[in-house]
Each structure stands twice: as C-alpha cells, then as structure tokens.
Amino acid sequence: MLILIRQNGSEENGWRGAPFYWPIISAQENAQTTIFSHETQKNADVQESDE
C-alpha cells in the first residue's frame, strides 16, 4: 500500500512555498519479498556491447 501525506511547505521554513508529499510504503505482513528489475543482467550485457 502506498500512502502519500501532504505537507504544505512555507518559504519562511526554507521550503519553496509548494506542497510536498511524504511517501509511506506499507506491505502486508504475509507478503513474499519480491525484487523487480526492468533490465536483467543478460540484457544489460547485450546493451553494453552494442554501444
């Protein structure tokens, strides 16, 4: 689950006078750990040799 908490930043406090969203990521207790990568090592090796 992704939760975004908005904080209004004032210029007096060194912010840019714009809102900032603090991201909070929360996973279920029983969720399996997963790693996602758009590129695999095999694809990265092929792309490097093509350059």
Q: State how far Cα 30 lies from the chain centre.
A: 22
9, burial (CB in 10 Å: exposed 0-12, middle 13-18, buried 19+): middle
Collect all residues with Cβ–Cβ distance below 8 Å to 42 and sequence separation of at least 6. none
pTM above 0.85, yes or no: no
Q: How large is the C-alpha radius of gyration of the chain? A: 20
Digit-coded pLDDT (tens) for 25-37: 888 888 888 888 7
Rounded-to-integer distance, Cα 10 and Cα 25, Å: 25
Question: Quick check: 47 pLDDT over 80?
Answer: no
